[in-house]
Amino acid sequence: MANIHPSAIVEDGAQLGTDVTIGPFCHVRSQAVLHDRVELISHVSVSGRTTLGEGCVVHPFAVLGGQPQNFRHEGSDTVLEIGAETIIRESATVHVGSSNSTGKTLIGSHCHLFAQCHVAHDCHIGDHVIIGGASALAGHVEVADHASVGGFTAVLQFVRIGHHAFIGGASAVGHDVIPFGLAARDPAVLHGFNLIGMRRSGMKRSDIDTMRAAYGVIYATDGTIAGNLELAREQFGDHKIVAEIIDFLEKRGKRPVMRPRRELGSSGSESDDAPLM
């Protein structure tokens, strides 16, 4: 049985699993689906075709399933799907997908959306992702597993953020960030790899050294990025994560790929003669 506070409104048609808790002054619209053990603490709005996975916790004044801020959206029945055990903090907002795109906004399991952050229409977010407080993801952004976005960061539409990447706080991200990439500043530039994330993932020192060597080849000034990728694949293509990074760079999305602040010399160190990016 669900535990529903007398001041809450749950419209007919809403589907509630077992042990769901809906606190004071929440509003759950008719198309919403709340799986087992979901908790809406208080003053939460869940509208549209929104699904919350098992064990999700939503804090006060969060708004889930609102219409997309997309002038080309025609108002069709698009969806928001949120995976299990995800925590959504105070005043966060997440919109459903839009009719002129995938029609789905997806957030994986075990994610943490901090207070006042915004996830726009058609974003696809993986598992174990952290979105910092007051950060905003524009439409169609992709964030892969275990990535972290620091607080007060803005991510431009269609940007891809690779798995285990880390975006520093108060950054403006307009380019794709490679897996395990470390990016920061306004505008954000690449600062090498997320070494803390590498160590936490159990990566061996030999793997880190190989990835650093590949990084030096990819971003060297001695050729084009496309040519450097071919060299990196020849030298390091049998390394699983390096191959993933090369594939990520070759499969360019709608945004250019982020580069270091300065291009690297053949030794893998920053070149003083390289232009600022």
Q: In the block, which residue shows the tokens 């105070």?
A: 90
End-to-end, the C-alpha distance of the chain in Å comes to 57
- Active-site entry in 35, 48, 103, 122: 122
- Active-site entry in 121, 140, 146, 175: 121
- Active-site entry in 48, 139, 151, 181: 139
**Is 146 an annotated catalytic residue?**
no
**β-strand pairing of 154-155 with 136-137:** parallel
**Is 121 an annotated catalytic residue?**
yes
Residues with a catalytic annotation lie at 121-122, 139
